[in-house]
Amino acid sequence: MHLNVHILKKAQKSFWFIPLVFSLISLVLALVTFSFDWWLSQHDYPLLPKVLFANFDLSMTIISTIASSIMTMTTITFSTIMVVLTTFLSQYSPRTLQNFINDRPTQRVLAIFVSGVVYCITLLILLKDESGQELFISAAFAAIVAIICLFVFVYFVHHVSNWVKVSNLIHNITIKTNHKIENSPLYRKKDKLESTHTGIDPLSFEDTEACYVYSNESGYLQHIEIEGLLHRAVSNDCIVRMIKTPGEYLLEGTAAMTIWSEEDDIKPEEYLNFIILGPDKEPIEDIDLGIRKLVEIALRAISPAINDPNTAKNCIEEIGIILSKLARHKLPGSHIADEEGNIRIILEQPDFEDYLYQSFYQLRHYGKHDISVIAEMLRSLRMIAENNKKDVKKIIWTFKDYILEGIDYDSLQNLDMKFLMKHLEELASSCGLPDWDRDAVRNSFFPNKYKTEDANQTDENS
């Protein structure tokens, strides 16, 4: 049941779903409007203003003109969407296309225009001069639809002008990633991910023959239905180990999971019902994808072709916001237990240090010449440290050595080094280290002219 819900959600994210639903609704409304027109022709309607009615020729002219106008707005909307997609593809990252395609306001605007065209064309087909009806109210309803489409078109222009702003795109990616952190099924199971248990231990199946579940199709692993898989593992009294994690590619015929059980009636193919494979590398629980999008936008921004370090700084800041939130959550462990404490599912899960490295290793390499990018990375680390506990602060302070090791100090000037030390001071303060060894950092990473005299003498003697 949960898997079907996720399949439905995936269909709802497609670009055609909302326009299709709106088109069906508009078709029904056109039939209702025509039926209402016919009913009025059979009854007296003194309460309705005469201005709402028109004869057959005028009604056909109005509706056909409105249909052409809405079709024109629809064409302009399609063209605008293609321009935005081209901008995202060339300026930001190919993986950001999905953000605009899945944007609900954009889908609804397109759906309203398409449904408006369907509504008017359906009325043109239904209205007949041979019906003997003298006056029609359908034209008035079509005019209302046209007015609605006009205001929606103005809104769409405003919406697109905001979407193409890179700052809004970056912030929307951050919001979506933080939402995944809050609502991922893996994170909701964190209370069950305990290392201490009194029931079944994975080592108890050490001598049991493993049963492998092979994939019957190829694609990216987009979702693991934890609830259903856990329930099936409990009913079969077995332990399931996922070989692949969300976001990894699974080839047809390769093992997707391993099952250990003392029972002989296990049906491995049934366990494939608890995973979703797809052509896109956008897993439902993969918060790493949002981080990768921000990293790619930042890398393009600092490339020589674009040379926009301010956009890169904005991305790095948003990465810090995501990692700060991630550090405040208890990351999913590798073992998922049932209600009795028996370990049932084994998953390979990255820890916080893995996320930290994946977020900064490319930025560290390509931004090593730019002091503004380097300083922003240190400021992002400070943001993470000041909002978290001592264990995270310790990880951050150790990770800063990795950033310092990659800096191209030959491209930095005296004021740049002073600026760098200022950010190191702030980072040390956020990590709770006001008395940190400044000389040790200088002597370990900085060029000779910035080292202390004792360090220089040591280098000369060696």
Range of the domain at 52: 2-164
- The mean pLDDT value for 228-248 works out to 86
Residue 132's pLDDT is: 59
Is a pLDDT exceeding 60 seen at residue 56?
yes
Is a pLDDT exceeding 80 seen at residue 52?
no
The mean of the pLDDT values for the chain is 82
Residue 129's pLDDT is: 62
Tell whether 185 is covered by a domain: no
Is a pLDDT exceeding 80 seen at residue 264?
no
Residues 112 and 234 in one domain: no
Prediction pTM value: 0.77
Q: pLDDT digit string (tens) for 146-182?
A: 999 999 999 999 998 888 888 888 998 999 888 888 8
Residues 359 and 220 in one domain: no
Tell whether 122 is covered by a domain: yes
- List strand residue ranges (DSSP E) for 88-236, in order: 211-214, 219-224
Q: Taking the alpha carbons of 455, 457, 460, 462 in that order, is the dihedral positive or negative?
A: negative
Residues 261 and 293 in one domain: no
Is a pLDDT exceeding 90 seen at residue 28?
yes
The pLDDT confidence band at residue 37, using thresholds 50, 70 and 90, is confident
Q: pLDDT digit string (tens) for 387-411?
A: 888 889 999 999 999 999 999 888 8
The pLDDT confidence band at residue 451, using thresholds 50, 70 and 90, is low
Q: How many whole angstroms separate alpha carbon 313 and alpha carbon 380?
A: 9
Q: pLDDT digit string (tens) for 70-93?
A: 999 999 988 888 888 888 887 788
Tell whether 20 is covered by a domain: yes
Is a pLDDT exceeding 80 seen at residue 44?
no
Residues 150 and 266 in one domain: no
CB 318 within 8 A of CB 172: no
Tell whether 241 is covered by a domain: yes
Q: How many whole angstroms separate alpha carbon 305 and alpha carbon 217?
A: 40
- The mean pLDDT value for 419-446 works out to 88
Domain endpoint, select from 164, 188, 221? 164
Residues 397 and 421 in one domain: yes
Q: How many whole angstroms separate alpha carbon 347 and alpha carbon 243?
A: 8
Q: How many whole angstroms separate alpha carbon 333 and alpha carbon 384?
A: 21
- Of 267 and 27, the structure prediction assigns the larger pLDDT to 27
CB 250 within 8 A of CB 221: yes
The pLDDT confidence band at residue 211, using thresholds 50, 70 and 90, is confident
Tell whether 191 is covered by a domain: no
Residues 151 and 225 in one domain: no
Residues 259 and 292 in one domain: no
Residue 357's pLDDT is: 94
Residues 417 and 451 in one domain: yes
CATH number for the domain that contains residue 253? 3.90.1170.30
Instruction: Give the number of domains in the chain.
Output: 3
Element (H, E) at 345: strand 343-346
DSSP notation for 309-340: HHHHHHHHHHHHHHHHHHHTS----SEEE-TT
End-to-end CA distance of the chain: 70
Residues 101 and 25 in one domain: yes
Q: Please give the structure tokens belonging to residue 154.
A: 């103005």
Residue 455's pLDDT is: 44
Residue 46's pLDDT is: 61
Tell whether 101 is covered by a domain: yes
Is a pLDDT exceeding 90 seen at residue 25?
yes
Q: pLDDT digit string (tens) for 377-387?
A: 999 999 999 88
Tell whether 188 is covered by a domain: no
Lowest mean per-residue pLDDT among 99-108, 128-137, 153-162: 128-137
Residue 32's pLDDT is: 92
